[in-house]
Amino acid sequence: MNAPDRAAIRQAVIDAVLTIAPEADFETVVPTKSLREQLDLDSFDYLNVLIALAKRLQVEVPEADYGKVDTLDGLIGYLAERVART
Amino acid sequence: MPSLGADMEAGTFIEWNIAPGQAVKRGDVVCVVETEKGAVDVEIWSTGTVARLVAEPGQRIPVGGILALLAVEGETWQAVAAMPAAPAVPTAPTAPAAPAEALHPSPAPALVRSSPAARKRAEELGVDVAALAAKKGGAPITLADVEAAAKTAPRASAPAVAGEGAARTGMRQAIAAAMARSKREIPHYYLGCEVDVERAATWLEQFNAGRPIGERVLFAALAFKAIALALRDVPDLNGVFVDGAFRPSAAIHLGVVTSLREGGVINPALHDADKLGVPALMAALRDLLMRVRAGQLRSSDLADATTTVTNLGDLGVETVYGVIYPPQVALIGLGRVVARPIVREQQIVASRMLTVTLSADHRVTDGMTGARFLSKVREHLAQPEAL
């Protein structure tokens, strides 16, 4: 199976967030600002997003890297890099 | 009709999962009831045989009203079924209100099981949730169902905005009634203290480092466990104030204040929080919060919290000044874990701090009891490995 590209990873992120925050509008999300703050995701919501992404992309974000995945750009970039490495 | 929270006065009956002649045991889900806070699976609290189903779909029934007759051991269900239910049904005084209810048709989405998120999306997309439910044979409607239906079906001309709006207003009114009663009847006193959680946070990081993401524990779970143990140490904050007297509870069921994405809050109970190990408590908390998001709460989730905890740290709040949920007698608030310079052994060092607050009922306890509780929370959080 080919590694998913950036667009596929972006879609995976959007799908994961929409299951928890169905009203989220990614047209208006600022990709360089905190995703959690913009979409009112609490720590349980965000953990569930990361768990859904781990299932779909086989990439687990270690707790120590949470600071790198706070924004939409950060999360997609982080996942893309990790997916490419595996 | 069970009371699914102190702020509930009545519920709308949705559907039966049982039939006359069927044996049921305590804890079985027997029917679905719609409240201001969404559809709830109602579990039966006795064991026996179903004799007669009294409630009908769409009927609004006050708390305490009869839903069904049950034959217990030693009775035959046919004999119980033949008994008149009328004297025991407290719906009679409200009967004159029935025509008014009929004039105000309940919104179609209220009669089907769907997650709050799915319902909201359906409203936005103009999807008829009732029609969708009929197609799915009564199975709960998920967000995915709504999205799929919106793609295949032409947009309905009039989305059920009024219905959804009414539901939201209903929840607002329920919260307003409970909170107004709290401020009217409960003389609150408030205490707060800053707890050094550096040790607990570090311990948790090490605990999580070796675990797959699905087994990771959030700091809130650790704090909940510390609170549950502190309530065991100081039982006067755990229980209800009913008929002019405090009734302590031996069990510790923590109500967890959870804000709903469509507005309002719900306080499902984390049962026996003091008896769960930290990983089990985290799993129970995740399960509970996921069922809140999916609109799949059970009656036992909503019925019997003995104290409530509100965690607003995720929203950047440092200090919570909470309002007690009657008939409970205490509410514990958790703020944000934040790094601060503190003095430890005559040195200024950076340490992660958490502000824990207590709102308590002065009819039941005094500041001394509250202070003892906060000090116990601090003690338990200082020994994370023992939690």
State the pLDDT at residue B131.
66
Chain B residues inside the 8 Å CB shell of A63: 205, 208-209, 216
To the question of domain B187-386 being in CATH 3.30.559.10, the answer is: yes
How is residue B104 written in tokens? 């105000």
Average pLDDT over residues A64-70: 91
State the pLDDT at residue B273.
97
Q: What range defines the domain where residue A31 resides?
A: 6-85
d(CA B347, CA B308): 37
Q: How far is CA B247 from CA A2, B8, B300, in A?
A: 62, 21, 19
Whether A44 is covered by a domain: the verdict is: yes
**CATH number (domain holding residue A59):** 1.10.1200.10
Indicate the helix (H) or strand (E) that contains B85. none
Residue-by-residue pLDDT tens, chain B, 387 positions: 888 876 788 888 988 999 999 999 988 899 988 887 778 889 888 889 999 999 998 889 998 888 999 888 888 888 888 887 654 444 433 333 333 333 333 333 334 566 666 666 776 676 766 666 666 665 667 677 777 777 665 444 444 444 556 666 778 888 888 899 999 999 999 999 999 999 999 999 999 998 999 999 999 999 999 999 999 999 999 999 999 999 999 999 999 999 888 788 889 999 999 999 999 999 999 999 988 888 888 888 887 899 999 999 887 899 999 999 999 999 999 999 999 999 999 999 999 999 999 999 999 999 999 999 999 999 999 999 999
d(CA B130, CA B141): 9
B187 near B361, Cβ under 8 Å? yes
Which position has the token pair 């309530």? B231
Which residues, including other chains, have CB under 8 Å from residue B374's CB and lie 6 or more apart?
B191, B192, B193, B230, B356, B358
d(CA B254, CA B383): 21
Is B209 within 8 Å of A44 when comparing Cβ atoms? no
Nearest to B290 among A43, A48, A50 (CB): A48
State the pLDDT at residue B95.
36
Residue type, B206: Q
Is A19 within 8 Å of B143 when comparing Cβ atoms? yes
> How many Cβ atoms are within 10 Å of B129's Cβ, its own excluded?
26
Q: How far is CA B352 from CA B68, B139, B200, in A?
A: 54, 46, 9
State the pLDDT at residue B109.
37
> How many Cβ atoms are within 10 Å of B336's Cβ, its own excluded?
17
Domain count, chain A: 1
pLDDT at A31 over 50: yes
Q: CATH assignment of B10-103, given 2.40.50.100, 3.30.70.270, 3.30.300.30, 1.10.486.10? A: 2.40.50.100
**A67 in contact with chain B, both atoms CB, cutoff 8 A:** no
Which position has the token pair 């299932």? A55
State the pLDDT at residue B105.
37
Which residues, including other chains, have CB under 8 Å from residue B242's CB and lie 6 or more apart?
B327
**A14 in contact with chain B, both atoms CB, cutoff 8 A:** no
How is residue A12 written in tokens? 């995976």
Whether A40 is covered by a domain: the verdict is: yes
Is A22 within 8 Å of B293 when comparing Cβ atoms? no
Pick from B301, B253, B293: nearest CA to B276: B253
Residue B124's SS3 state is: helix
* DSSP structural state of residue B156: P
For A52, phi and psi rounded to 5 degrees? -60, -40
State the pLDDT at residue B174.
84
Q: Is A19 left (phi over 0), alpha (psi -120 to 50) or beta?
A: alpha
**B210 in contact with chain A, both atoms CB, cutoff 8 A:** no
Whether A1 is covered by a domain: the verdict is: no
Task: List the single best residue of B208, B311, B312, B314 to mutate versus A (max A Cβ within 10 A).
Answer: B314
Whether A46 is covered by a domain: the verdict is: yes
Nearest to B214 among A22, A44, A51 (CB): A51
Q: What is the number of residues in chain A? A: 86
User: Which residue ranges does chain B devote to CATH 3.30.559.10?
Assistant: 187-386
B330 near B255, Cβ under 8 Å? no
Is B208 within 8 Å of A63 when comparing Cβ atoms? yes
How is residue B328 written in tokens? 């409970």
Average pLDDT over residues A33-57: 91
